[in-house]
Amino acid sequence: MTDRPMGFDTLAIHAATAPDPATGARQVPIYQTTAYVFRDADHAAKLFNLQEIGYIYSRLTNPTVSALANRVVALEGGAGGIACSSGHAAQIMALFPLMAPGRNIVASTKLYGGTIQQFSNTIRKFGWSAKFVDFDDPTAIEKAIDADTRALFCETICNPGGALSDLDAIARVADQAHIPLIVDNTTATPYLCRPIEHGATLVVHSATKYLTGNGTVTGGIVVDSGKFNWSADDRFPSLSQPEPAYHGLVFHPTLGNMAFTFHSIAIGLRDLGMTMNPQGAHYTLMGIETLSLRMQRHVENAQIVAEWLEQDPRVGKVTYPGLKSSPYHNLAKMITPKGPGALFTFSIKGGYEACVKLVDNLKLFSHVANLGDTRSLVIHPASTTHRQLSEEAQVKAGAAPDVVRVSIGIEDVRDIIADLDQALAKATA
């Protein structure tokens, strides 16, 4: 290899995964083990003191899981990261070193319904809270930030409607307030967008979706840019001051741009236990090898399907940013120049009942609570993923009762359209 930086496709196959030194195995082995033998007492002490890098216990680190985390870090252009048990776990892990009782985050209204639920109710059990504002309006974000705000949170391509976040504008607000910007990059993947290049501090993923790509794994990733100064003031004591949960270690001055990553391992995974299993990490590593090829087909198919739907008289509105009619069309060219993903919604003339009939009559599409599979997927958010929200909140989240969400797969696009056509005919008869 030369000294030139490797391209994305090469990193997707080779990053962080040299042949196994013990056996020469080319694919990353599945290290199905709970614990690791120390060389001696001194070696064990150095590992626990973070003076030496190595493996202690698989709740903390595991070679297969670490390989996955490091590969995604390479693809995102970050400094460090961790893999954990799910996308929801990744969100909590991202917030954990930053938050304390009484602290809040400012989050976009355009989020996955499960994330809105997690931020509206579940995090309150930790004494945290969230303020939801329209992230299309930077002024509204600024006004929502107060002395207790510890992060901004948004999605690159918003679930379910496919709207895009102006990451550069949002990052400027975060920088001015000196708080980190956390970006969920699940639906874009690092192939379509690398949020760190647009000013994000932390990037989270549900590895369950496009990274794995085949509906076999539940997992999450957190990537740290390594660029935030956690010691600039006293707002992030877990990273800038002696941490009582780890014998008084001061993480940021001691570990620099790896402070967040090591805190997440040494304390977050140790105490919260949101650990990814090595077999799941192995499947995700294999999925990432074809990420760029799959995303290219996802985007090509989504564009064709969205254009077809927009011309269909049985359809109301199509939200795909690849359409010239989308208010996010120009932003997509800047944030996701390779294409704005394959997730979007469309409304059906006939409302809630027509949506239910469409879902029940699709044959090729799978009706599942997932996205990012090689298969085309469909769901009616108002009756499923966003059911816990009020109708007003559903509308704000882009999940109105007359809307279905589709995740366009990589099948022959003619077959995708034919399935939609026959189901629409039955839904609107």
pLDDT of residue 284 exceeding 70, the answer is yes
pLDDT of residue 292 exceeding 90, the answer is yes
Find the farthest-apart pair of alpha carbons in the chain and give their distance in angstroms, rounded.
75
Give the single-character DSSP code of 267.
I
**CA distance linking residue 37 with residue 344, whole number of Å:** 49
Sequence-separated (6 or more) residues with CB below 8 Å from residue 276: 65, 68, 83, 84, 85, 207, 219, 220
pLDDT of residue 113 exceeding 90, the answer is no
Split at pLDDT 50, 70, 90, the class of 248 is very high
Q: Which among 93, 71, 274, 321 is positioned nearest to 190, based on CA atoms?
A: 71
DSSP assignment of 364-397, as one string?
A: SSEE-S----SS-EEE-GGGTTTTTS-HHHHHHT
pLDDT of residue 82 exceeding 60, the answer is yes
Amino acid at the residue 376: S
pLDDT of residue 1 exceeding 70, the answer is no
Q: What are phi and psi of 67, to 5 degrees?
A: -60, -40
**CA distance linking residue 388 with residue 382, whole number of Å:** 8
- Poorest-confidence range of 49-63, 146-160, 374-388? 374-388
**Residue range 97-103: average pLDDT?**
98
Asked if domains 8-287 and 291-427 share a fold, the reply is: no
Split at pLDDT 50, 70, 90, the class of 398 is confident
Q: Which among 221, 136, 227, 135 is positioned nearest to 186, based on CA atoms?
A: 221
Residues shown for the chain: 429
pTM for the structure as a whole? 0.95
Split at pLDDT 50, 70, 90, the class of 255 is very high
Residue 411, classed as helix, strand or coil, is coil
Split at pLDDT 50, 70, 90, the class of 2 is low
Among residues of the chain, what percentage have pLDDT more than 90?
85
Long-range CB contacts for residues 332-335, cutoff 8 Å, separation at least 24: 332/164, 334/168, 335/156, 335/164, 335/165, 335/166, 335/167, 335/193, 335/198
**Residue range 66-89: average pLDDT?**
97
* 417 within 8 A of 362, measured Cβ to Cβ: no
More confident residue, 350 or 205: 205
Asked if the 8-287 domain carries CATH number 3.40.640.10, the reply is yes
**Residue range 20-46: average pLDDT?**
92
Give the β-pairing of 343-348 and 315-318: antiparallel
Q: Name the average pLDDT for the chain.
A: 94
Q: Which among 188, 268, 192 is positioned nearest to 224, based on CA atoms?
A: 268
Give the β-pairing of 181-184 and 343-348: unpaired
Segments of 31-165 assigned E as strands: 80-84, 104-108, 129-133, 149-155
Split at pLDDT 50, 70, 90, the class of 394 is confident
Q: Locate the domains of the chain by residue range.
A: 8-287, 291-427
**CA distance linking residue 347 with residue 329, whole number of Å:** 19
Look up the CATH architecture of domain 291-427.
Alpha-Beta Complex (3.90)
pLDDT at residue number 161: 86
Split at pLDDT 50, 70, 90, the class of 395 is confident
Q: What are phi and psi of 107, to 5 degrees?
A: -120, 155
pLDDT tens digits for 191-244? 999 999 999 999 999 999 999 999 999 999 999 999 999 999 999 999 999 999
Query: Cis omega before residue 313 (within 30°)?
Result: no
Amino acid at the residue 77: G
pLDDT tens digits for 303-314? 999 999 999 999
More confident residue, 2 or 170: 170
